């Protein structure tokens, strides 16, 4: 497959503003130590949505694990049709293009693998206060630190193209925090110092890409136990909100082989819930 040269960037992504790179590429590459080769990565100053662009251009032949990182998005997309608001200096927003020989149903565990990889990467950088919240958020001390939006498209020969969009709050100014309905957190330490974004992105890629390859081979089941060890609501009572406003409640006791949440109800019966359209709340009102 031909790798598009960066000079093609304006032609491929007409909405992008490709000024100077805003992340230190050397620091980024130094973190990708265990990858056999550095993924193709383009930085843009501004774009509508990295997910939307890769969903349009991935099927036209982008290389596997192509990464588009944007300093700013004018129409960032969140889960369940919500907008994703980020900050040019305090967020990390990027998307990865990955092609899988798996069915859409088998890919339902993909967002969980991504959230697991992110937690493992951040822990390896010393940020051990971060955990996963089903299905694919990163939480710190009861507030959201990062979100994952996976969008898929069918390709020829039964393959599926997945755009893995990641929005990470590194050091969010209060004005941006106020635009979200739920309170947010970020990666700043007790002294208010935030990690540099380039090494964080490099470490994320270095951790995520091998996990994606392992997921492509073996599916979600081998990851279920480890995911639960990082789960912020493991063995806790939770409520699931369905799109039709109904609720399911129970104790969170594990994950199914496809990444569905297993809740045990008051009668001791277990139920499995799947789907990106569900929202999880802590506790049972």
**For ligand BTN, which residue of 165, 195, 219, 250 counts as binding (CB under 6 A)?**
165
**For ligand BTN, which residue of 90, 109, 147, 254 counts as binding (CB under 6 A)?**
147
> Closer CB to ligand BTN, residue 84 or residue 134?
84
Calpha distance 191→189 (Å, rounded): 5
> Closer CB to ligand BTN, residue 135 or residue 219?
135
Question: Phi-psi category of 250—alpha, beta or left, where left has phi over 0 and alpha has psi -120 to 50?
Answer: left
CB of 29 to ligand BTN, least distance (A): 21
Q: What is the DSSP letter of 275?
A: -
Strand residue runs (E) in 40-103: 41-47, 66-73, 91-100
**For ligand BTN, which residue of 13, 84, 134, 227 counts as binding (CB under 6 A)?**
84
Calpha distance 256→96 (Å, rounded): 26
Calpha distance 259→230 (Å, rounded): 14
**For ligand BTN, which residue of 79, 102, 133, 203 counts as binding (CB under 6 A)?**
79
**For ligand BTN, which residue of 23, 44, 50, 110 counts as binding (CB under 6 A)?**
50
> Closer CB to ligand BTN, residue 96 or residue 160?
96
Question: How many CB atoms within 10 Å of residue 80?
Answer: 10
Interstrand relation of 66-73 and 41-47 (parallel, antiparallel or unpaired):
parallel
The two three-digit tokens of residue 120, written as one number: 């493992």
Regarding 58 and contact with ligand BTN (CB under 6 A), the answer is: no
**Applying CB under 6 A, what is the total number of residues that bind ligand BTN?**
20
Give the position of tokens 């995520």.
208
Residue nearest to ligand BTN (CB): 147
Q: What is the dihedral angle through the alpha carbons of 127, 131, 135, 136, rounded to the nearest 10 degrees? A: -10
CB of 93 to ligand BTN, least distance (A): 4
CB of 78 to ligand BTN, least distance (A): 3
The two three-digit tokens of residue 186, written as one number: 């970020």
Q: Which residues, including other chains, have CB under 8 Å from residue 18's CB and lie 6 or more apart?
A: 6, 9, 10, 42, 43, 44, 45
Contact 95, 54 (CB under 8 A): yes
Regarding 51 and contact with ligand BTN (CB under 6 A), the answer is: yes
Q: List the interface residues with ligand BTN, window 125-144 (CB under 6 A).
A: 137
**For ligand BTN, which residue of 77, 197, 203, 230 counts as binding (CB under 6 A)?**
77
Alpha helices in 69-196 (DSSP H): 110-124, 174-177
Q: List the interface residues with ligand BTN, window 91-110 (CB under 6 A).
A: 93-95
> Closer CB to ligand BTN, residue 82 or residue 242?
82
- Find the part of the chain contacting ligand BTN (CB under 6 A) among 70-78, 171-179, 183-191, 241-249: 70-78
**Residues near ligand BTN (CB under 6 A):** 49-51, 73, 76-79, 82, 84, 93-95, 137, 147-149, 165-167
């Amino acid at each position: 497959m031909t790798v598009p040269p960066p000079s093609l960037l304006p032609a491929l992504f007409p909405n992008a503003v490709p000024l100077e790179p805003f992340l230190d590429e050397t620091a980024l590459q130094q973190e990708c130590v265990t990858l056999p080769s550095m993924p193709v990565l383009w930085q843009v100053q501004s774009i509508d949505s990295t997910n939307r662009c890769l969903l349009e251009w991935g099927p036209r032949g982008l290389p596997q694990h192509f990464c588009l990182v944007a300093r700013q998005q004018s129409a960032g997309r969140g889960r369940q049709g919500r907008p994703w608001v980020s900050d040019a200096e305090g967020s990390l927003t990027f998307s990865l293009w990955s092609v899988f020989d798996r069915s859409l149903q088998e890919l339902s565990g993909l967002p969980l693998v991504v959230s697991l990889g992110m937690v493992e990467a951040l822990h390896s950088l010393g940020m051990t206060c971060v955990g996963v919240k089903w299905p694919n958020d990163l939480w710190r001390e009861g507030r959201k630190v990062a979100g994952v939006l996976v969008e898929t498209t069918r390709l020829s020969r039964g393959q599926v193209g997945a755009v893995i969009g990641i929005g990470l709050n590194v050091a969010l100014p209060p004005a941006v925090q106020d635009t979200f309905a739920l309170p947010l957190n970020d990666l700043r330490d007790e002294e208010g110092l935030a990690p540099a974004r380039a090494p964080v992105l490099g470490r994320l890629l270095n951790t995520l890409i091998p996990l994606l390859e392992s997921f492509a081979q073996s599916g979600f089941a081998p990851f279920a136990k480890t995911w639960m060890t990082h789960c912020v609501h493991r063995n806790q009572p939770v409520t699931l909100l369905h799109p039709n406003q109904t609720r399911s409640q129970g104790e969170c006791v594990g994950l199914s082989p496809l990444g569905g949440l297993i809740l045990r109800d008051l009668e001791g019966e277990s139920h499995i819930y799947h789907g990106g359209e569900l929202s999880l709340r802590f506790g049972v009102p």
